[in-house]
């Protein structure tokens, strides 16, 4: 659900910042016919109340999702990169290869269950890829869940900061194919000079 009023912050647990929103969408847009996976970051999330998702690290795409050893390395590198910025991983983001597939895949479930052992809060966000083409007027681009250490999931509402402007700016970035210079950890392994953390921020 898209809400732009900050007064909702304390009544909703997930507050998605424009930078995080855009990077998740760019990762999915770069690989429209492949599954993608990454992690979302927050600054010291509380055990209860709202959690700010301020950034996103894209980890892998396509068949790389099936490589457990590669995922472990990527997660370790992401944890270290986040810690340098006083952030921590609080969940995962995924988009499925098949249009209309609105369920969390096994790899995403396994990843977020692992994150739940490392954080007091863990969530999973799924991009509804058939909605990506509806930007900048998509009514519901993501589904979200809270996740336990056992892998159990419960539906979760999210709030997008300044939703109209965020969608419009993301749509503009996708239209300009800015994802061509947006790399994930898998891209980085293919060419070490590619910065997979993509540490830029929209203001």
What integer is the mean pLDDT of 146-166? 87
Predicted pLDDT at 129: 85
Angstrom distance (rounded) from CA 5 to CA 81: 31
What whole-number distance in Å separates Cα of residue 203 and Cα of residue 193? 26
> What pLDDT sits at residue 49?
67
Element at 159 (helix H, strand E): strand 158-160
Return the pLDDT at 64. 84
pLDDT for 169 equals: 93
pLDDT the model gives residue 203: 59
For the ranges 50-54, 104-108, 126-130, 136-140, the lowest mean pLDDT is seen at: 136-140
Query: Who has greater pLDDT, 110 or 48?
Result: 110
What pLDDT score does 48 carry? 58
- Checking if the pLDDT of 12 tops 70, the result is no
| DSSP annotation string for 150-165 | TS-EEE--EEESSHHH
102's tokens: 């609105």
CA 149 to chain centre: 19
Q: Residues 161, 16: contact at Cβ < 8 Å?
A: yes
pLDDT at 45 (0 to 100): 60
The confidence score (pLDDT) of residue 67 equals 84
């Amino acid at each position: 659900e898209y809400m732009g009023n900050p007064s909702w912050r304390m009544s909703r647990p997930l507050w998605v910042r424009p930078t995080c929103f855009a990077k998740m969408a760019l990762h999915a847009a770069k690989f429209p016919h492949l599954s993608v996976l990454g992690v979302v970051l927050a600054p010291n999330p509380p055990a209860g109340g709202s959690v700010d998702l301020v950034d996103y690290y894209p980890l892998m795409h396509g068949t790389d999702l099936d490589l457990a050893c590669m995922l472990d390395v990527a997660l370790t590198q992401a944890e270290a990169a986040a810690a340098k910025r006083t952030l921590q991983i609080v969940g995962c983001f995924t988009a499925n290869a098949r249009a209309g597939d609105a369920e969390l895949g096994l790899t995403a479930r396994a990843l977020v269950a692992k994150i739940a052992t490392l954080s007091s809060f863990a969530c999973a966000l799924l991009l509804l890829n058939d909605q990506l083409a509806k930007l900048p007027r998509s009514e519901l681009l993501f589904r979200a869940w809270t996740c336990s250490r056992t892998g159990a999931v419960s539906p979760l509402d999210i709030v997008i900061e300044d939703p109209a402007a965020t969608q419009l700016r993301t749509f503009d970035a996708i239209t300009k194919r800015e994802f061509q210079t947006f790399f994930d950890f898998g891209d980085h392994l293919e060419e070490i000079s590619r910065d997979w953390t993509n540490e830029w921020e929209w203001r």
